[in-house]
Amino acid sequence: MSEEIGKILITEHEIQDKIRELAKRITEDYSDRDLLLVGVLKGAFMLMSDLAREIKLPLEFDFMAVSSYGSATRTSGVVRILKDLDYEISGRDVLLVEDIIDSGLTLNYLLKYLRTRKPASLEVCALLRKEGIQKAQIDIKYEGFEIPPVYVIGYGLDHAQRYRNLPYVAVLEEGEE
Ligand code: 5GP
């Protein structure tokens, strides 16, 4: 099997424009609150970095790492916490930052998990959401783009740990060698 970067779905320019728009809304919504951004590693690292620079508030960061895929390209629905939060979130205004929502199972699991820690509020910012029926019903307050149900790479998203550094989002093209 060979693989390569296929069609670009969202350009670098479109991503950065959207992030400025989302960050502006977040800045307004959290102006009188104590914002804690929680990024889900590894996929959300680029979004976290670009988004945080555009939010004009004295926010704090934390990160979680979860694994739901291995290196296959299908949702398993099994979520493993590889790294938990460093800080207490009880009473905090938490914004969970995710790269992509496919079935929604990963996010659903994380939200349930975080709610048990009693944050003052808990919202979601996700750059991408795949079209189709999400298996879990989730309210994404800050959503970037809706994309077709294809496997994508770039802007934090990998295939077998590669391609995360692409500044755009593209389709992964797989073919016979
Ligand atoms: P879900 O639990 O919503 O089905 O899947 C969420 C997680 O699966 C994402 O955080 C991401 O790590 C991975 N994922 C889902 N779709 C894609 C995709 O198209 N490309 C990549 N690289 N990862 C994906």
Domains of the chain: 18-147 (3.40.50.2020)
Catalytic-labelled residue, pool 17, 102, 139, 158: 102
Token representation of residue 142: 């800050």
Token representation of residue 70: 């291995």
Using the mean position of ligand 1's atoms as its centre, give its distance from the Cα of residue 31 in Å.
31
Q: Helix or strand or coil: residue 165?
A: coil
For 28-65, write each residue's pLDDT tens digit: 999 999 999 999 999 999 999 999 999 999 999 999 99
Strands 121-130 and 142-147: parallel
Q: Quickly state the pLDDT bin for 69 (edges 50, 70, 90).
A: low
Q: Quickly state the pLDDT bin for 105 (edges 50, 70, 90).
A: confident
Stronger pLDDT, 77 or 48, i.e. the higher one: 48
In this prediction, residues 115-142 reach a mean pLDDT of: 90
Ligand 1, atom nearest to 103 Cα: 4
Q: Is the CB of 158 under 6 A from ligand 1?
A: yes
For 129-161, write each residue's pLDDT tens digit: 998 767 667 889 999 999 999 999 999 999 999
Arithmetic mean of pLDDT over the chain: 91
Phi and psi of 68, rounded to 5°? Answer: -130, -10
* pTM for this prediction: 0.92
Residue 139 a catalytic site member: no
In this prediction, residues 104-119 reach a mean pLDDT of: 93
